[in-house]
A and B are shown apart, each in its own frame.
Chain A
């Protein structure tokens, strides 16, 4: 996906820029925005580079560093916290052999925290890409990771 293409889709206005940049970022295998990407968005929208860059640093869904193909975002706000989100984190760290904030060596998974994803009725919950997973148990987590591993190969 090209910068111009995504901006055309969103209608080239400053207000729609966040959505356009997010979709662009999701379309990239390493889920991040490079300096060149940011410059391209600035050029196409006519906004100063500093302005576009301020969005990338302010909004937490953007990344300036390469990440895994699948970003696993674990919720730890109170409804998930009191339903054992710590165990979800421990399970994932064990399965993937990485700590929170890290990416697996094969570039497949990145482990992150997220604020509440509005699925508190299925706590503990996590989001991977566009999919939400709730009522997580160790078995469920293992099977989700297993499936993504197979799909990602």
Chain B
């Protein structure tokens, strides 16, 4: 078990003060940057590709390929953007990464910028994370003073600057096109795609957008080499994964693990199981936009190949444990209220669909739902996931769909319930 807990990204947590660049350097920090600046940018991309690193924000796109696309894209300036809009409920890994070891993120971004040929970096942090913003602001100032940012970095002729940008309360900013709109000082509404950010991103220029955890991995890949990094994981999922464990568990918190660990090991061994000797009823993966699965699936390893068999993925690494006191319908209403509140309102399936879904769920709650309502609900969910403009509306139906799949009775059993009471 303990061999499935691996501290790579979290190794310096609690060891370095987040306010001290000296601490970071003393503990091996910025050594990877020095090494990278002595390499050919193409060689860095080769290492990142060899590492097998995939985006840690949820979508899992290969990072090396993204980097390469930006390098190959025509247009200047080029940008690297860090998506630190960690608004998906149940996720807190990025907050830890920013607040416990901010320079690790900066180092990853500077190396990525050098590889992708970018001139400027932006870290977009959600407005609620006031503390993260302060810590990053300070870290950037220190890095600038130490010569890791600015003109002619470490005498190599490489120029790169970066700044922190604050959001102001909007979940949809986590979607990369909406995030780019926010970075340009507009309401965060997504747009039609393609083009993708690697060719037309921030201000219409080539942009490499990655999650905080993804960037934080880069210095380690440079340090140990792509092959050694890949060897840490499984064939399909390399490196380590940060897990945000929450809900009804004895020891909620942040855990860094390798991909051969099972969901059950995370919940029972790391998390100490459910309080009060109660049982797990269901587990939601990734956050409200993720699937809700039954305890029978907990022996799955979090590795992509194994999870894919059940159409699942560990996504951003949030694991929300819900114990046997919960009512599936009550949880669904809470999740759908969340999406309804956060929908940006641009496209009809999402904006109108979520309101209609809530109306239908209400009927199940008060026992007036009919078979026809169930059919309508299923139809509506399909329309939303197929026709919504961005990931918010596309993923919002996942929770209900998986409840219908694994806990169908909890909903179907409510059909016509009001009549029986009479």
Residues of A within 8 A of B (CB): 11, 13-19, 21-22, 47, 51, 54-55, 58-62, 76-79, 81-83, 114-123, 127, 130, 132
Kindly name the residue among A18, A60, A119, A122 whose own CB sees the greatest number of chain B CB atoms within 10 A. A18
The interface residues of chain A lying within 8 Å CB-to-CB of B335 are 78
Q: Tell me, in angstroms, the Cα distance from A150 to B155 when the chains sit together.
A: 55
Closest to A62 in B: B168
Bound Cα distance A47, B187 (Å): 14
Chain A proximity mask over B143-184: 1 for CB below 8 Å, otherwise 0: 000000000000000000001111111110000000000111
The answer on a CB contact under 8 Å between A61 and B252 is: no
**Given A14-B184, A121-B245: A60 and B130 interface contact (C-beta under 8 Å):** no
Can you list 6 residue pairs at the A/B interface with Cβ under 8 Å? A13-B185, A15-B185, A18-B166, A55-B187, A119-B95, A121-B252
Whose C-beta in chain A lies nearest to the C-beta of B131? A130
Q: Decide yes or no whether B260 CB sits under 8 A from chain A.
A: no
Q: Is the Cβ of B323 less than 8 Å from the Cβ of A121?
A: no
Which residue of chain B lies nearest to A130 when distances are taken between CB atoms in the complex? B130
Tell me which residues from 361 to 391 in chain B have a Cβ below 8 Å from any Cβ of chain A. Answer: none
Return the CB mask of B115-158 against A: 1 if under 8 Å, else 0. 00000001000011111010000000000000000000000000
Asked if residues B185 and A55 are in contact (CB atoms below 8 Å), the reply is yes
B88 within 8 A of A: yes
List the A side residues contacting B90 at CB < 8 Å.
77-79, 116, 120
Residues of chain B lying within 8 A (CB to CB) of residue A119: 92, 95
- B89–A18 CB distance below 8 A: no
Q: Which of A11, A15, A77 contacts B338 (CB 8 A)?
A: A77
A93 CA to B59 CA, complexed, in Å:
40
**Interface residue ranges, B against A (CB under 8 Å):** 86-92, 94-95, 122, 127-131, 133, 163-171, 182-188, 244-248, 252-254, 284, 288, 320, 322-323, 326, 331, 334-335, 338, 341-342, 344
Assuming the A-B contacts A77-B288, A115-B342, are A16 and B163 also in contact, with contact meaning beta carbons closer than 8 angstroms in the complex? yes
B131 touches A118 (CB 8 A): no
- B122, B182, B252, B323: the one within 8 Å of A123 (CB): B252
Could you say which residues of chain B place their CB within 8 Å of the CB of A122? Answer: 252
Look across to chain B and name the residue whose beta carbon is closest to the beta carbon of A75: B89
A119–B96 CA distance with the chains assembled, in angstroms: 10
Chain A neighbourhood of B165, CB < 8 A: 15-16, 18-19
B246-A79 in contact (CB<8A): yes
A19 with B130: CB separation less than 8 A: no
The answer to whether A78 and B284 have CB atoms under 8 Å apart is: yes
- The answer to whether A59 and B163 have CB atoms under 8 Å apart is no
Contact B171 A115 (CB under 8 A): yes
Besides the known contacts A114-B128, A115-B87, A122-B252, 10 further A-B residue pairs in the complex with CB atoms under 8 A apart: A18-B168, A18-B185, A21-B168, A55-B168, A78-B288, A78-B331, A82-B326, A120-B92, A121-B252, A123-B252
How many A-B pairs have beta carbons closer than 8 Å: the answer is 143
> Is A82 a contact of B128 with CB atoms below 8 Å?
no
Contact B185 A17 (CB under 8 A): yes
Tell whether, in the assembled complex, residue A121 and residue B127 are in contact, meaning their CB atoms are under 8 Å apart.
Answer: no
Q: What distance in Å separates the Cβ of A28 from its nearest Cβ neighbour in chain B?
A: 15
Q: With A and B bound together, what is the CA distance between A55 and B254 in angstroms?
A: 34
Among B186, B244, B335, residue most surrounded by chain A Cβ atoms (within 10 Å): B186
Q: Which residues of A contact B164 (CB under 8 A)?
A: 19
In the complex, what residues of A have CB within 8 A of residue B95's CB?
Answer: 118-119
Q: Which residues of B contact A17 (CB under 8 A)?
A: 185
Which residues from chain A contact B344 at a C-beta distance below 8 Å?
A: 58
Q: Which 10 A-B pairs have the closest CB atoms?
A: A14-B185, A19-B166, A77-B89, A61-B169, A116-B89, A59-B168, A60-B169, A120-B246, A58-B187, A79-B246
Contact A15 B184 (CB under 8 A): yes
For the complex, what is the distance from the CA of A132 to the CA of B376, rounded to whole Å? 42
Query: With the chains together, A114 CA to B168 CA distance in Å?
Result: 12
Of all chain A residues, the one with the shortest Cβ separation from B168 is A59
Most buried by A among B86, B245, B248, B252: B252
Choice from B187, B284, B331, B338 contacting A115 with Cβ under 8 Å = B338
Q: Which residues of A contact B87 (CB under 8 A)?
A: 115-116
CB distance from B289 to the nearest CB of A (A): 12
Chain A proximity of B243: nearest CB distance (Å): 11
Given contacts A16-B165, A60-B170, contact A118 B334 (CB under 8 A): no
Give the residues in chain B near A18, CB-CB below 8 Å: 127, 165-168, 182, 185
Task: Chain A residues near B127: list those with CB within 8 A.
Answer: 18-19, 22, 59, 61
Say yes or no: A79-B128 contact (C-beta < 8 A), given A15-B185, A16-B163, A121-B253.
Answer: no
A117 to B317, CA, bound (A): 17
**B187 touches which one: A54, A76, A121 (CB < 8 A)?**
A54
A38–B388 alpha-carbon span in the complex (Å): 33
Residues of the A chain whose Cβ atoms lie less than 8 Å from the Cβ of B252: 79, 120-123
Report the minimum CB–CB distance from B344 to chain A (whole Å).
8
Least CB distance from A9 to B in Å reads 11
Q: Determine the chain A residues whose CB is within 8 A of the CB of B91 once the complex forms.
A: 116, 118, 120
CB of A118 within 8 A of CB of B128, answer yes
B188 surroundings in chain A (CB, below 8 A): 58-59
What residues on A are CB-neighbors of B166 within 8 Å? 16, 18-19, 22
Q: Given A115-B342, A121-B252, A19 and B334 touching (CB < 8 A)?
A: no
Give the shortest distance, in Å, between A43 (CB) and chain B (any CB). 16
